[in-house]
Amino acid sequence: MSEAADRAAANAGTLILGDDLEVRRIGFGAMRITGEGVWGDPADPDATAAVLRRALELGVNFIDTADSYGPETSERLIAEALYPYPDHTVIATKAGLLRSGPGEWSRDGRPEHLREACEGSLRRLRVERIDLYQLHSPDDKVPLEESVGALAELRAEGMVRHVGLSNVDSGQLARAREIVPVVSVQNRYNVADRESEPLVELCEREGLAFIPWFPLRAGKMATPGGPLDRVAEAHGATPAQVALAWLLQRSPAMLPIPGTSSVEHLEENVAAAGLRLSDEELESLSGG
């Protein structure tokens, strides 16, 4: 698998964030490098560091995290494993969610919180500027314009290079873009969940990156004998690899960020970039 992953990484293709950051089209999602429930430290920090370092060895140069993963743990582990970062490594993080325990999340989009969160992320990641800073989720108690305005200020002050949004609809994206340039949208999207289809198409038209979270969920499509299983068998691949290949072929704007705490699974995910699905196979998966 290691050689296949190396070859696939070389052929994964790239996209441009904003007008200046070129990233490989399979990134790494660092949500699951924390403890169970996305809470606290992982059981084996050395294994986590090995996964992060192997990702860079494979050519992955886009790592997505958030201050709420742990909380703070994911960002700290990334810096401990990878700092000083190799040239062209792009670290994306997010703010706007709070944690009170394993599996528990709440929103905080207040400008003062977002500024404080950004300052904390800069310290933990050991960087002077965050490449891509994303509003993790709009807060119903705070006008979106206030939350996005805070990110615009951070960008103007040089603390943030680019701004992204997560868990938004097209109307919220349009409102945000009236305030600050937005280079990416990160929503749930996968072969079994197409609710954000309009945003995928919008991002492709507008030259924005679409970062699907939960990219490997396949639902009933991955059941034995199902469409994903049949395509995987034809390619000698896993259903997860086919799910990633489908995303990559769905749109050139797509930037999947599968996460894992296993080097073996990391290499399997990256190797998915080497799969080419036929038109007939893509059509067989189109039902969702």
Q: Which residues are catalytic?
A: 69
**Distance from C-alpha of 226 to C-alpha of 91, rounded to nearest angstrom:** 37
Which of 44, 14, 16 has the alpha carbon at shortest distance from 32?
44
Two structure tokens written together for 135: 């509003």
Alpha-carbon 94 to chain mean position: 10
Terminal Cα distance for the chain, rounded: 28
Cis peptide before 84 (omega within 30 of 0): yes
Q: 167, 199 in Cβ contact below 8 A?
A: no
Beta carbons within 8 Å of 180's beta carbon, 6+ residues apart = 148, 149, 151, 152, 155, 163
At which residue do the structure tokens 């950004």 appear?
Answer: 118
Tell me how far apart the alpha carbons of residues 63 and 233 are, in angstroms, rounded to a whole number: 30
What is the rounded CA–CA span in Å between residue 65 and residue 131? 12
